[in-house]
Amino acid sequence: MFEFRVSGSSGHAWSGDVLTIGRDPSNGWVLSTSGVWARHAEVLRGADGRLTIRSLGDAVVALNGVPIRESPLRWGDAISLGATVAQFYLAAPNQRGLLGWERALWITLGLCLIAQVFLVVWLQR
């Protein structure tokens, strides 16, 4: 899962293959700040899992202060879309419960300890 964080807001998390950005309510991330077009940009996930941001039409997208038409995204990149500047990050993962695995590990370690103690006592006879 990936996230775009705008200063002063909670950010926008996303995990799909295509994210459209713009003023239009049909976009995956709706931005209503000045300078943002109805369909301003899109983020695409390639077959290799890498993300690329691309401006749509004549919309201006700047990556780390440099205007681009299309560019790969990297951790911490600053993306300017009109008056909005967002940082690109990996979102916090949703971790599944590991309680069962943790219990099994501790039980296995305990059994190994008991077996070692038994072996030491048996070898000392």
DSSP element (H, E) containing 64: none
Kindly report, residue by residue over 49-95, the tens digit of the pLDDT. 899 999 999 999 999 999 999 999 999 999 999 989 999 987 666 66
What mean pLDDT do residues 93-108 have? 82
- Percent of the chain exceeding pLDDT 70 equals 94
CB 125 within 8 A of CB 36: no
User: Could you tell me which of 84, 75, 64, 90 has the C-alpha nearest to residue 21?
Assistant: 84
- Percent of the chain exceeding pLDDT 90 equals 67
Q: Which fold has domain 2-90?
A: Tumour Suppressor Smad4 (2.60.200)
Domain boundaries, the chain: 2-90, 96-125
Give this prediction's pTM: 0.69
DSSP string over 11-30: -EEE-SSEEEEESSTTSSEE
pLDDT (0 to 100) of residue 118:
95
pLDDT (0 to 100) of residue 80:
94
Buried b (16+ CB within 10 A) or exposed e, 22-34: bbeeebebebeee
CB 51 within 8 A of CB 77: no
CB 78 within 8 A of CB 85: yes
